[in-house]
Amino acid sequence: ERHGPICTKLFNKKRKPFDSLKQRLQGTDIPLVGKAPNSKPQPVRKSNWRQQHEDFINAIRSAKLCTLAIKEGRPLPPPPPPSINPGVWPVWFAFDILLLNS
């Protein structure tokens, strides 16, 4: 009976979040500085990890075939098809460089 109006009044109000920084700085000479607003949100990068993983697996497989062909004295197999990312060097190209420098 008595607590009904008090509870409705208490639970209808939004509580202000406690600011521990404000309380810590209360007795010091440090001025309270507000947070700077973010100028613009960071762009979300599109991840292509699956394609990179497939390229890596294919490169490893072709490298194994190349080393097996070198050990057995057979001609090298044809290089794997080029990947979508031109910044990644294919393994067969690295083998050619190693063979030329040997």
State the average pLDDT over residues 55-69: 91
Provide the residue range defining the domain that includes 70.
Answer: 50-80
Q: Does the pLDDT value for residue 98 go beyond 70? A: no
pTM of the model: 0.41
**What does 38-100 look like in DSSP terms, one character per residue?**
PSSPPPPPPP-HHHHHHHHHHHHHHHHHHHHHHHHTPPPPPPPPPPS-TTSPPHHHHHHHHHH
Residue 56 lies in a domain: yes
Residue 59 lies in a domain: yes
In the prediction, which pLDDT does 81 show?
A: 76
Residue 21 lies in a domain: no
In the prediction, which pLDDT does 68 show?
A: 93
Overall number of domains in the chain: 1
3-class DSSP state for residue 10?
Answer: helix
- The fraction of the chain above a pLDDT of 70, given in percent, is 72
Residue 60 lies in a domain: yes
Residue 62 lies in a domain: yes
Residue 69 lies in a domain: yes
